[in-house]
Structure 1
Amino acid sequence: MASISPLSVDEQIALVTSDDPHHPANLICELCRNFYTLGWVTGTGGGISIRQDDNIYIAPSGVQKERLHPSHMFVLSHSANTYLRHPTPLKPSACTPLFLAAYNARGAGACIHTHSHWAVLATLINRGKKTFRIANAEMIKGIPSPATGGYHGYHDTLEIPIIENTAKEEDLRESLEKAIEEYPNTSAVLVRRHGVYVWGDTVWKAKTQAECYDYLFQLAVEMAKLGLDPAGPIDPVEDES
């Protein structure tokens, strides 16, 4: 558990006060309002974290995400594992150990956790399976491919690990870290009956990827309803000549 730094009140306020709309404390509030309209962070669930140099900004636990204010933000020193800002009486996000897993293993610049029902359903149409797979879909091209240093191609098969849910969010850390290690080409981990964690080099890349993933989850669920295999080949077109 992270310790708490003895910064003065003024120093702590300065960490989350800025007129710059791109400041992490402001961006987290803006993005959470947007994600709320998508149904990703309702009921205080889900969360987002942004890293700025060594400081990691994290939305708190138990606060309506559409009503977040910069003063609600926790700020963690990554290198020292110390809270530079720990606003009372708010509680640190239970997602924090999972966010740190993405920062530590992938050098991410931001991490997003959603409770999207499409993400949940994507895990349920893959009962008994350890991965979600989809191929030959245009939005796959919005997902990075660390193995190649570029992005996935239209004909690639996108594979995302699925880990099993736990009673407490923080208890997911070990299985999420294992999934990140075992699937070096992924930038997301699905949690069965729960949601998804997505990370990116920057907050905007993480946002773009989260949107692409959600589109692909919905597409796969709708394909499964029609008896189509989301990872199946493209059917040949009959020659009518």
Structure 2
Amino acid sequence: MASEAADQRGNNDHLVESNDPDHPANLIPSLCAKFWTLGWVTGTGGGCSIREEDLVYIAPSGVQKELMKPADIYVLSLPHQVPSTPRTYIRSPPAFKPSQCTPLFLAAFTRRGAGCCIHTHSQWAVLVTLLLESAPATESRRVFEINNIEQIKGFGKGPGKVGNLGYHDTLRIPVIENTAHEEDLTEFLEDAMDEFPDAYAVLVRRHGVYVWGDNVHKAKTMCESLDYLFRLAVEMRQLGIPWISDIPVVQPRRKAVEQ
């Protein structure tokens, strides 16, 4: 990765210097510290990236996520990235290396128009992929599906579509196989995006999950909702409760009185 970092080191530091807590260079360390408390980014694993117009801010590789500082953030210009050539950064920290998650983050930004992408090593996400891995041959091992759970309402219907999923809708998250090197996951993540155009996340078997949204707020909301659903799914399986159920729609006995 040294070639990728062969840019103007030490220049453009102003890109990560701001007193605004909502500036991407401040938000990424703040979010990663929060994710560390949740057990999502332990041992330097996981990461986060935020796109602000044409600039992409990325957490580095090899940093203790709860100790990350704005000065540790990489910045690249999205329009200036040329396929099949080394990535160039317009701002690099004096230490660390670019994240191997970078091409997967970029896929969320270029293919989904996302404003934020979060990668976690949540144990519940990993356990769900293991449960799917051991599922009977008659069941799909390539997609996590769950319905009739209130937290499903935290997910949009799909990019470009209005509104969120409903209580009775089925949430579907594709699963891709892990690779020895994280950046090699990119083509499989892109294939999953093509196959499931309405999905806002992709599970990586025995690894974790990538979640993206139009902005930081939406990405964080869906990431938290997913982790809730993954944990619930693991406990449901332990209790012998199916993830997909067929229950009747309950109609209200009377309409709300108009104000």
The CA RMSD measured in Å over matched residues stands at 1.8
The whole-number CA distance in structure 1 between the counterparts of 2:197 and 2:7 is: 34
The question of whether the paired residues in 2 share the 8 Å contact of 1:60 and 1:90 is answered with yes
Bigger shift: 222-231 or 143-152? 143-152
5+ unaligned residues in a row in structure 1: which ranges? Answer: none
What is the match of residue 162 of structure 1?
Answer: 175
Gap regions ≥5 residues in structure 2 = 82-87, 136-140, 251-259
Q: Aligned letter for 2:13?
A: I
Distance 2:5 2:98 in 1: 12
> Of 207, 217, 238, which aligns to 2:230?
217
Q: Indicate if the aligned counterparts of 2:77 and 2:90 stay in contact, CA closer than 8 A.
A: yes
The answer on whether the counterparts of 2:8 and 2:92 sit within 8 Å (CA) in structure 1 is: no
Instruction: Tell me, in whole angstroms, the C-alpha distance in 2 between the residues paired with 1:149 and 1:167.
Output: 38
Task: Kindly tell me the number of residue pairs found equivalent between the two proteins.
Answer: 235
The residue that corresponds to 2:91 in the other structure is 85
- The one-character-per-residue Cα deviations of 1:151-173 (angstroms, maximum 9, x if unpaired) are 11100011110000011100100
1:108 aligns with 2:114: yes
TM-score, normalization by structure 2: 0.87
Identity within the alignment, %? 59
Which residue in the other structure is 1:95 paired with? 101
Matched, 1:194 2:200: no
One-letter amino acid of the structure 2 residue matched with residue 102 of structure 1: A
5 Å-filtered alignment, 1:71-150, equals 71-81=71-81, 82-127=88-133, 129-146=141-158, 148-150=161-163
**Residue 61 of structure 1 corresponds to which residue in structure 2?**
61
Counterpart of 2:255?
Answer: none
Of the structure 1 ranges 78-87 and 195-204, higher mean CA displacement relative to structure 2 is found in 78-87
Which residue among 166, 191, 206 is the counterpart of 1:178? 191
Closer/same/farther in 2, CA of residues 235 and 125 from structure 1, 3 Å limit? farther
Question: What letter corresponds to residue 65 of structure 1 in structure 2?
Answer: K
Per-residue CA shift, 1:104-155, capped at 9, x if unaligned?
1100000000000000011111126110000000000001111642211100
Change (3 A) 1:236 1:173: closer
TM-score, length of structure 1 as denominator length: 0.93
Paired with 1:6 and 1:116, the residues of 2 have a C-alpha distance of 35
Name the SS of the counterpart of 1:177 in structure 2.
helix
* Higher share in strand: 1
CA distance in 2, matches of 1:75, 1:236: 48
Q: Which amino acid aligns with 2:175?
A: I
Shift of 1:12: 1.6
Shift of 1:6: 4.2
Work out the CA distance in 2 between the residues paired with 1:204 and 1:5: 31
Q: Deviations over 1:151-200 (max 9, x none)?
A: 11100011110000011100100000000011011000000000000000
Partners in 1 of 2:72 and 2:5 — Cα distance? 18
Q: Which residue identity does 2:99 align to in structure 1?
A: S
Distance in 2, Cα, partners of 1:31 & 1:3: 24
* Conservation of the 8 A alpha-carbon contact between 1:108 and 1:201: yes
- How far the C-alpha of 1:233 sits from its partner, in A, is 2.1
